[in-house]
């Protein structure tokens, strides 16, 4: 009876040690996976930052293009106004000459 109890106790101790060892291995694997995931997340963040930089540059280019177009349109509008004013003044002068002013 004593031998049987001793062998059961020994088996229980071996099982506890193997469970502890298994838990240690699982902890190591968890830490490794966390490290890999952190590296992946960091790489993704770097890619996103690069994309944000490209987007910012594209926005700057678009603003410059739109400003150039707007300035061009304003210049042509001002030129058209000046041309119309000159034509109007010329017509007034012709009318004054015809009416005798």
Q: For residue 77, is pLDDT > 70?
A: yes
Q: For residue 101, is pLDDT > 70?
A: no
Q: Could you report the per-residue pLDDT of 21-64, keeping only the tens digit for each?
A: 777 788 888 888 888 888 888 888 888 888 887 777 788 888 88
- In this structure, of 14-23, 57-66, 78-87, the range with the lowest mean pLDDT score is 14-23
Report residue 49 CA to chain centroid gap.
Answer: 6
Read off the pTM: 0.37
Cα–Cα distance, 57 to 65 (Å, whole number): 12
- Indicate the domain borders of the chain: 1-92
Q: For residue 6, is pLDDT > 80?
A: no
């Amino acid at each position: 009876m004593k031998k049987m109890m001793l062998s059961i106790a020994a088996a229980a101790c071996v099982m506890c040690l193997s469970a502890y060892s298994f838990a240690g291995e699982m902890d190591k694997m968890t830490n490794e996976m966390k490290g890999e995931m952190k590296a992946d997340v960091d790489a993704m963040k770097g890619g996103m930052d690069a994309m944000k930089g490209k987007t910012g540059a594209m926005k700057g280019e678009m603003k410059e293009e739109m400003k150039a177009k707007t300035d061009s349109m304003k210049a042509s509008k001002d030129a058209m106004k000046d041309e119309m004013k000159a034509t109007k003044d010329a017509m007034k002068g012709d009318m004054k000459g015809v009416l005798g002013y």
